[in-house]
Chain A
Amino acid sequence: MRLPKAKGQVALAVGVIGLAAVVWHQTTAIPVSPIYARIGPTVFPTMVAAGLFVVGLMLLWQALRGGWQTEEDQDQSPVDWHALGWVLAGLVLNVALIKPFGFTLASVLLFACVAHGFGSTRPVRDAAVGFVLAGGTYFGFSRLLGLDIGTGLVERLF
C-alpha cells in the first residue's frame, strides 16, 4: 500500500527538480546586465534555481525512502474523479467561453458544474443561483464603476 503513494511523491519531487531546470534554463536566457548594474538580473534567479534543485533532491530522497505522511494517508481514500472531473470541466468551460459568450453565461456554467460536482442534483436551481450571483456582480461593476468585465450574449439582452 505504501508504494503508490510514494510514487506520487517521487513524481512531485522530480517535478520540483524539473522546475529548477526550467528556472535555470530561463535564467541563462536573461541578457546579462546590458547596463551598469553591480548585481545583475540573474543573481536571484540563479539562487532560486539552486534552492529548488536542492529541495527537489531532498524531496526525492525522502520519497524514495518511503515517502512522508500526509493528511490523505490516514484515510487511504482514492481520488473522487467524478467530483473533481465536474469541477475541472467547469473551470475549462469558463476559460473557453468567457471571451466569446461573456462573463455571465460562463460563470453560470462554472457555478452549475461545481455545484453538480459537489453533489447537487438540482441543475436548474444551481443555474438560477449562479445567474443571480454573476449577473448581479456584472451589473454592479458596469453600472457603479463603469468597468466592463466581459459583455456577452446574456448581457446584451438587458
Chain B
Amino acid sequence: METLAALLHGFEVAISPINLLWALVGVTLGTAVGVLPGLGPALTIALLLPITYKVDAIGAFILFAGIYYGAMYGGSTTSILLNTPGESATIITAIEGNRMARNGRGGAALATAAIGSFVAGSIGIIGLTFLAPVIVEFALRFGPAEYFALMVLAFVAVSAVLGNSTVRGLTSLFFGIFLGLIGVDLQTGQPRFTFGLLELLDGINVIVVAVGLFAVGETLFLAARHRYGQDEIIPVRGSIWMTAEDWKRSWKAWLRGAAIGFPIGAMPAGGAEVPTFLSYFVEKKLSPKPEEFGHGAIEGVAGPEAANNASATGVLVPMLTLGLPTSATAAIMLSAFQSYGINPGPLLLQNQPALVWGLIASLYIGNVMLLVLNLPLIGLWVRILAIPKPLLYGGILVFATIGTYGISQSVIDLVLLYLIGGVGYLMRRYDFPTAPAIIGMILGPLAEQEFRRAMQVSQGDPTVFLTHPLSATLLAIAVLVVAAPQVYRFYRRNRPPRD
C-alpha cells in the first residue's frame, strides 16, 4: 500500500507537462541513437551530462531514462531491417529478425519486438516497483562461482545457432572467444593479442564485430554474387501486421523472455546479452516448429527482445535500491546524480523519494510512449527494404561506418570493421554460422574472468563450483539441457516402440 501511494506520488511528478516533454524528447532521442550502431545510451547520456547544469534533477533523469529505454527499441529496428545491430543486446534479434524482414515479414518482426518490449518492459517496471528488495537480495547471493555457472549455462545457447555443421559452428565459436580475449587482462594487467597496438589494449567493441560479420560481410557476399546469384528481398508479403498465429506464437515468448531478462538484468554482473542468448535457446527448444529457426521464426525475435527490455529495467534495481552501477549506462546516470549533489546509495530511496518514484513512474509513461511511437512507424520502416539495392547497400555500409568511426574517430577501428567484414564474407561463402562467434566473444571473457575470480577466492580449489548450491544447480541444469536430448534419443533408438 505504501508502495502504491509512493508510486502515485511519482506519477504526479512525472505527469507534469514539462516532464512529459522530457520523456518524449528522451524516448525519441533514444530511438535515434539506438538505431546507430555503436552510439549507445551510455555515450549519449555522457555527452548530455552538461544539461544537468540547466535542468532540474527530475527532468534530467526522466530524459536519461527515456534515452536508455528508447535505445533498446531503436536497436532492434536496425537489427531486423538492416542486419546491423545498434546495441549488443539486440544482436540476437538480428538472427531471426532479419530473415523475417527479407521474407516480407519485417512488419510482424518489428511489431512483435515493439509489443514484446512493451510487455516485458512493463513487467520489469512492475517488478522494480514491488519486488526490488527481494530481487536484490537474491542477486547479491551471486558470487564469482555462481556467475561462472550462469555463463556456462548461457554457453548452451551456442547449440541453438550451430547451423549445419558442429565443426564449422565450433570454429566460429573459438574465433569469437579469441576476439573476446584481445586486450589487457583484467586480473593480471597483461596485454593479450594486442600485437603491439595501444588501440587494442581495451579490447575490440562487440558491436564492431557484429556489424562487421553481419552487415559488412553480408554486403560483400551479395556483391560477390551480384550478377549471377539472386538476392531477393520482399519488402512486404501478406499482412504488414502480426497474424493471429504470430500472436499465438509470440505472447508466451514475451512472458518467458521477461522472466529470464528481469532477474539476470538485476544481477550486478549478469550482463545485458546473457538473457537474450538464454531466451533464444529456450524459444528454439520449446517451439513446435524448431526447424523454422534460422529462417525467420517469430519466437526468436519475440523472446530475446522481451528479455533485453526486461533486463534493462532489471539494471535499475541495484541502481535505485543500493546505488550500484552495474552497466555503463547506470554508471553514467549515477555520476549525473553526483552533479546534483545527490549521493546515490542504499539511502537514495529514503532521501529522494520524489526523484526515485518520479523516475519509476516516467518509465511506465516512456514505455507507453515508445509503443505509440513505434507501432505506426512500422509501415514506414519496412519501406526501407523497398529502396533500390544500390542505394540500400550503400546506405548500410555508410551506416556501419558512422557507428564505428563516429564513436572513436579511430581509423584502426574502421580497418578492423572491414577486416572482420572480410572474415564475415568468407564465413558466409563457406557456410560458417556467424552467431556463435558473437556469443563466444561476449561469453568467453565473462566466463573466463568469473572462473578465475572464483579460483582466486577459493585459492585454487575447483570444488567451489559444486559446493555452492546455486552454482551447482545452474551447472546441473546446463548438463541436463545438453545431455537430456542425447539420452532420450539413445533410449528411443534402443527400445523398440511398444505397439
Contacts and interface: CB of A to CB of B under 8 A. Distances in A.
Nearest to B425: A84
A98 B430 contact: no
Contacts of B16: none
A137 B224 contact: no
B397 A111 contact: yes
A79 B228 CA distance: 8
Interface string A65-99: 00011111001011110111011101100110011
A51 B398 contact: no
A146 B390 CA distance: 32
Contacts of A126: 390-391, 394
Contacts of B452: 37-39, 43
A58 B389 CA distance: 38
B389 A145 contact: no
Contact of B390 (A30, A80, A115, A145): A115
Interface stretch (B122-130, B135-143, B304-312, B403-411): B403-411
Nearest to B429: A72
Contacts of B414: 94-95, 98
A18 interface: no
A83 B224 contact: yes
Interface in B357-372: none
Interface stretch (B184-192, B203-211, B331-339, B467-475): B184-192
A98 B174 contact: no
A30 B398 contact: no
Majority SS of interface residues in chain A? helix
B431 interface: yes
A105 interface: no
A30 B190 contact: yes
B402 A149 contact: yes
Interface in B160-175: 164-165, 167-168, 170-171, 174-175
A3 B177 CA distance: 32
Interface stretch (B290-298, B378-386, B453-461): B453-461
Contact of A117 (B175, B226, B415): B226
A26 B164 CA distance: 31
Interface in B198-250: 219-220, 222-229
A147 interface: yes
A30 B187 CA distance: 13
B426 interface: yes
Interface string A102-142: 01000100111111111110000010011001100100110
B418 interface: yes
Nearest to A99: B411
B251 interface: no
A118 B224 contact: no
A79 B431 contact: no
Contact of A148 (B175, B227, B409, B415): B409
B190 A34 contact: yes
B48 A31 contact: no
B181 A45 contact: yes
A133 B395 CA distance: 8
Nearest to A5: B430
Contacts of B271: none
Question: Chain B, interface size: which category?
Answer: 35 or more
B171 A16 contact: yes
Contact of B174 (A38, A52, A113, A119): A52
Contacts of A72: 225, 429
Interface in B385-441: 388-391, 393-395, 397-398, 401-402, 405-406, 409, 411, 414-415, 418, 421, 426, 429-431
Nearest to A73: B431
A68 B165 contact: yes
A77 B229 contact: yes
B178 A48 contact: yes
A120 B391 contact: yes
A88 B397 CA distance: 11
B193 A145 contact: no
A122 to B, nearest CB: 9
B44 interface: yes
B175 A8 contact: no
A29 to B, nearest CB: 9
Interface string B21-44: 000000001001000100000001
B4 interface: no
B306 to A, nearest CB: 30
22 contacts: A12-B430, A19-B175, A27-B192, A30-B191, A39-B452, A40-B188, A52-B171, A72-B225, A75-B228, A79-B225, A80-B226, A80-B228, A84-B220, A84-B224, A86-B223, A95-B418, A98-B411, A98-B414, A103-B406, A120-B388, A130-B394, A134-B402
Interface of A: 8-9, 12, 16, 19, 23, 26-27, 30-31, 33-35, 37-41, 43-45, 48, 51-52, 55-56, 58-59, 62, 68-72, 75, 77-80, 82-84, 86-88, 90-91, 94-95, 98-99, 103, 107, 110-120, 126, 129-130, 133-134, 137, 140-141, 144-150
Interface of B: 29, 32, 36, 44, 47-48, 164-165, 167-168, 170-171, 174-175, 177-178, 181, 185, 187-193, 195, 219-220, 222-229, 388-391, 393-395, 397-398, 401-402, 405-406, 409, 411, 414-415, 418, 421, 426, 429-431, 444, 448, 451-452, 455-456, 459-460
Sorted from nearest, which 8 A-B pairs have the closest CB atoms? A77-B228, A120-B390, A115-B390, A83-B226, A149-B406, A118-B390, A114-B394, A70-B431
